[in-house]
Amino acid sequence: MAAVLCVHGIGQENEAEETLSDRWVPALCGGVSNAGGKLERSEVAMCFYGGLFRPDESVSKSAADLGNAIDDEIEHERLVARLGEAIDDEFEHDLLVALADAAEPDSKALERPINAMLQQVARTPFFGRCAQEVVVWSLKQVRWYLDDYNLTRQLAQRRLMNAITDDTRVLVAHSLGTVVAYEVLCAHRDLPVRTLVTLGSPLGIPVLRPHVQPSIAQSPAPWPSGLAMWFNIADRTDIVALEKRLASVFGDQVQDRLVQNGATMHCVRPYLTAPATGRAIVAGLSRE
CATH at residue 47: 3.40.50.1820
Residue 118 is part of which domain span? Answer: 63-146
Cβ burial of 151 (10 Å; 0-12, 13-18, 19+) is exposed
Confidence class of residue 131 from pLDDT cuts 50, 70 and 90? low
Q: Are residues 100 and 231 in the same domain?
A: no
Q: What is the largest CA-CA distance in the chain?
A: 62
pLDDT digit string (tens) for 7-21? 999 989 999 999 999
Mean pLDDT throughout 184-194? 96
Sign of the Cα pseudo-torsion (9, 184, 227, 215, in order): positive
Q: How many helices (H) and strands (E) does the chain have?
A: 10, 6
Dihedrals phi, psi of 201, to nearest 5 degrees: -80, 135
Total domain count, the chain: 2
pLDDT digit string (tens) for 105-125? 877 777 788 888 888 888 887
Q: Among 31-35, 66-70, 233-237, which is the least confidently predicted range?
A: 66-70
Mean pLDDT throughout 12-38? 97
Q: Are residues 161 and 200 in the same domain?
A: yes
pTM of the model: 0.89
Q: Which of 80, 115, 146 corresponds to the end of one domain?
A: 146
Find, among 141, 232, 121, 113, the residue nearest to 181 by Cα: 232
pLDDT digit string (tens) for 37-82? 999 999 999 999 999 998 764 333 344 443 443 344 444 455 455 5
Q: Are residues 164 and 138 in the same domain?
A: no
**Domain-located, residue 58:** no
